[in-house]
Amino acid sequence: MALRVLPLFVLLAGIAVAVFLWVAVSTQQVVCPQATAQKRAYAIRGRWLAGLLVALLAAFALSLAFFPYISATAALAPALRVPVLAEQYSFEMPAHLPLGKPIIFEVTSRDVNHDFGIYDPAGRLLAQVQAMPDYTNYLRVVFHKPGRYTARCLEYCGIGHALMQNTFTVGEGQ
């Protein structure tokens, strides 16, 4: 077995040594002076950087319209402002809200930290925000379906937390 492997090893080792020798001999002469190579490399790097900057600026400009904060800010102006006051263990808020209009809930708390979570008529969580004492959080919502919605507290706030909820209707007119 060892005798059959030996010729193959010698052949492969010979090829490897030949490659090393070829590289060593062929790089004896300086093909390009160091200063010239460096200058050329810096020029290539400069062009790559310029290309990259152009590509990034183009991507930034093209994606600016999809930036979420801009649409959110633009939508703030014409909205109906609805104050919500959370307290142990209820929410003080209107019983009826309009359909299809932007609403900004101004959510705060009278006592401890609560959470104002809005569930649609199918029981899915639509939006939520913290209700904090001495601080107002703004929650923008547009209701697209009429029906009975439920606001639930989503942060443990005391012994009655599990019962802390309120319902309101969404429909035409307000």
Q: Given the rule CB under 5 A, which residues bind Cu ion? A: 153, 157, 161, 164
Nearer of residues 93 and 142 to Cu ion, judged by Cβ: 93
- Smallest gap from Cβ 92 to Cu ion, in A, equals 15
Q: Which two tokens stand for residue 139?
A: 């929650």
Give the sheet arrangement for strand 90-92, strand by strand.
90-92, 80-87, 102-109, 137-142
Q: Which two tokens stand for residue 64?
A: 């600016």
Contact 81, 71 (CB under 8 A): no
Nearer of residues 80 and 111 to Cu ion, judged by Cβ: 111
- Spatial distance between the Cα atoms of 125 and 11, rounded to a whole number of angstroms: 72
- Smallest gap from Cβ 87 to Cu ion, in A, equals 10
- Smallest gap from Cβ 144 to Cu ion, in A, equals 27
- Spatial distance between the Cα atoms of 72 and 50, rounded to a whole number of angstroms: 33
Nearer of residues 87 and 120 to Cu ion, judged by Cβ: 87
Nearer of residues 82 and 153 to Cu ion, judged by Cβ: 153
- Smallest gap from Cβ 161 to Cu ion, in A, equals 4
- Smallest gap from Cβ 93 to Cu ion, in A, equals 15
Contacts of 139 (CB under 8 A, 6+ apart): 104, 105, 107, 116, 127, 128, 129
Nearer of residues 140 and 161 to Cu ion, judged by Cβ: 161
β-pairing verdict for 125-131 and 96-98 = unpaired
